[in-house]
Amino acid sequence: MRELIEKVLSECKKYTADGRVADYIPELKKACPADLGICVLGGSETVELGDCDKRFTMQSVVKPMILLLALMDNGRETVERLCGVEATGKPFDAFNYSDMALRGEHINPMVNAGAIALCTLIGGEGKDEKFERLFSLVKRLSKNQSITVDEAVFRSERETGNKNRALAYMLKAYGMIDCDVEDMLEVYFKACSISVSCKDIANIALVLAHRGRDPESGEELIPAEYSRYVTAILAICGMYDGSGEFALRVGIPAKSGVGGGIMAVVPGKMGIGIYSPSLDKKGNSTAGVKVLERLSAALDLSIF
């Protein structure tokens, strides 16, 4: 397994040149475009290779965690009433809803509007408690209590995130959320700025791959029903408006983020974390997708 992953990584390194590091959040521009790292957990060994020690911000990879906590705090009906489950087919930050009214059924938890809306369902008194509860869930599932928030990325996104600000105010204007918008954006921006390694997100994926259980101890960390819910959503729209193509080529439920991370859940088998910050036009890591495509073919990992 190690040799195979090593080979795939060296073959796919060249694809980092096909993309560009995200720059709409100024602090993300500092990433090194040629980085490529991976952690594969599950099966008989743990494989960590390439730039796997680099830390990167979760960005949209945190969206499945927001969804999970919203489900755990409120149950499925409330979550589904606020935020639908169908793929939008639109970019993650789309706010052109002029062709139809903005309603819960028209968004999903993996686009920004849905994730921001779901932040309002996280239990806790104010923004700080809500964020801390989300942060604890991320630390618990990644088995890493020393995870931190990248304050520079957080400030950078808070200062420049006017598209998300517009989306959030639109949610409020349409009566979908009723809260202090700036507070809710702070929870969302901070969540996106949680700084992780490939192993951290591979650990989270491994729990989802085992329907919410820690595969070593057997302990239930998340209710199985919600683990399945989140994994199904990843299969439908985890790779933004590139999810259909990704399903055909790779066939693994996964979530990408503009920080360059991809968290891939191979049901019953593996958790995979990849970091490579050069992104394609849809915001998915160019080399990361290629690595997953080759691993999926070589190890027969497609769920379809």
Site residues (CB under 6 A) for ligand GLN?
Answer: 59-60, 92-93, 112, 157, 164, 192, 257-258, 283
The CA distances from residue 204 to 45, 212, 226, 230, 254, in Å, are: 17, 9, 14, 12, 12
Strand pairing of 278-279 and 254-256? unpaired
Closest CA to 273 of 260, 283, 263, 284: 263
Catalytic residue check, 98: no
Question: In the Cβ-directed half-sphere of 89, how many Cα atoms lie within 13 Å?
Answer: 1
Of 19 and 283, the one with the shorter C-beta distance to ligand GLN is: 283
Find the catalytic residue in 15, 226, 229, 240.
240
Find the catalytic residue in 62, 63, 190, 195.
63
Find the catalytic residue in 15, 21, 47, 60.
60
Catalytic residue check, 255: no
223, two tokens:
């209710």
Of 60 and 276, the one with the shorter C-beta distance to ligand GLN is: 60
- 255 has which bridge partners? 263
Of 19 and 42, the one with the shorter C-beta distance to ligand GLN is: 19
Burial of 55 (0-12, 13-18, 19+ CB in 10 A): middle
> Measured from the CB of residue 232, what is the shortest distance to ligand GLN in angstroms?
20
> Measured from the CB of residue 101, what is the shortest distance to ligand GLN in angstroms?
23
Catalytic residue check, 15: no
Of 48 and 150, the one with the shorter C-beta distance to ligand GLN is: 150
> Measured from the CB of residue 112, what is the shortest distance to ligand GLN in angstroms?
5
Q: In whole angstroms, what is the distance from residue 193 CA to residue 195 CA?
A: 6
Of 231 and 256, the one with the shorter C-beta distance to ligand GLN is: 256
3-state secondary structure of 295: helix
Residues in Cβ contact with 48 at an 8 Å cutoff, skipping those fewer than 6 apart: 37, 38, 39, 40, 198, 199
Q: What is the DSSP letter of 126?
A: S
Of 120 and 164, the one with the shorter C-beta distance to ligand GLN is: 164
> Measured from the CB of residue 243, what is the shortest distance to ligand GLN in angstroms?
13
> Measured from the CB of residue 172, what is the shortest distance to ligand GLN in angstroms?
17
- The answer to whether 80 and 207 have CB atoms below 8 angstroms apart is no
> Measured from the CB of residue 193, what is the shortest distance to ligand GLN in angstroms?
8
Residues in Cβ contact with 185 at an 8 Å cutoff, skipping those fewer than 6 apart: 116, 158, 161, 164, 165, 168
Catalytic residue check, 60: yes
- The answer to whether 194 and 149 have CB atoms below 8 angstroms apart is yes
List active site positions.
60, 63, 188, 240, 258
